[in-house]
Amino acid sequence: MPILAPATLQLLKGIPCVHRPKDILFQETTTLGIRRSSFKRVIAGRTEIRVDAFRRPVRVKTGYWNGDIVNVHPEFEDCKQIATETNLPLLQVIQSVQLAAQEALKTTA
C-alpha cells in the first residue's frame, strides 16, 4: 500500500471485546483515529413448513413480516435430491416446489 494512502479496516465483533481491537490498531499501525459505527439488525419471522411435491414431502422456509408472507423458499438440498433422482433441471424443481408451497399457504391462510 502506498505511503499516506487512506485505508479502511472493518472489524466485526461483539460488544464485550471493544477495547482490544482499538489497542491493537493504535499500537500496531500508524493510525491516529478510528471511526466506529453500530448497527442493529431487524429480522423477519421464519417458519418451516412441509409441502408435498414430486410425491414426497419437501421442506420450505417461509418469511413473515407484520403478519404477511414475504418470502417462500424451498430447501435447496431437498430440491437438489429431487432434481438428481428425476433428471429434471434444479431450477424447474425449485419453481414447482415454490408454487406448491404458495398454493398450500393460500389454503391455510
| Cα separation, 101 vs 62, whole angstroms | 9
| Cα separation, 74 vs 94, whole angstroms | 6
pLDDT of residue 19: 66
Position 51 in a domain: yes
pLDDT of residue 13: 67
- 3-class DSSP assignment, residue 32: coil
| pTM beyond cutoff 0.85 | no
Position 14 in a domain: no
Position 11 in a domain: no
Position 88 in a domain: yes
Locus of grid cell 471493544: 18
**What single DSSP character describes residue 46?**
E
Position 104 in a domain: yes
Walking along the chain (109 residues) 10 residues at a time, the average pLDDT comes out as 71 66 84 82 94 95 94 96 96 96 85
- Looking at residue 88, which CATH number applies to its domain? 3.10.20.300
Position 36 in a domain: no
Longest Cα–Cα distance of the chain, Å, equals 64
For residue 34, which phi and psi values (nearest 5 degrees)?
-135, 135
pLDDT of residue 23: 85
Position 69 in a domain: yes
| Cα separation, 105 vs 101, whole angstroms | 6
Tally of domains within the chain? 1
Q: Which domain holds residue 65?
A: 45-108
